[in-house]
Amino acid sequence: MNAERVLAAVVLAVCVALFVRLLIGARRRAQLDAALRRAAQSVRGAVVSVRHRREAMRVADEAIKRARQRDGEWDGNVYKPKSFRKPPRDKMH
């Protein structure tokens, strides 16, 4: 029953906002629409930024985990995997 009241309150608020929008003049309505558009764009940009940051952190964590699981050695800040080592030379030829 609580969700029904919240939904009813949201619908009522939207109806009142649309009614007030109709009552104001055309110039103020255009200003209000532009301000709402800017607010929506900045909220969308913030959401996208947070989503990209989370994805970047996840990818970095996966890369760190893969690097720790591999065999190799560190030479300062350079990681040299064992797969880069040359195979032994064939002494027969």
Which pLDDT does position 79 carry in this prediction?
A: 77
User: For residue 45, what are the domain limits?
Assistant: 2-68
Distance from C-alpha of 90 to C-alpha of 93, rounded to nearest angstrom:
6
Distance from C-alpha of 40 to C-alpha of 37, rounded to nearest angstrom:
5
Which pLDDT does position 93 carry in this prediction?
A: 60
Q: Is 80 domain-assigned?
A: no
Which pLDDT does position 55 carry in this prediction?
A: 95
Q: Is 81 domain-assigned?
A: no
Counting every residue written for the chain, the total comes to 93
Which pLDDT does position 39 carry in this prediction?
A: 96
Q: Is 43 domain-assigned?
A: yes
pLDDT tens track, the chain, 93 positions: 699 999 999 999 999 999 999 999 899 999 999 999 999 999 999 999 999 999 999 999 998 888 777 677 778 888 777 777 677 777 766
Is residue 72 within 8 A of residue 79, CB to CB? The reply is yes
Q: Is 29 domain-assigned?
A: yes
Q: Is 78 domain-assigned?
A: no
Q: Is 93 domain-assigned?
A: no
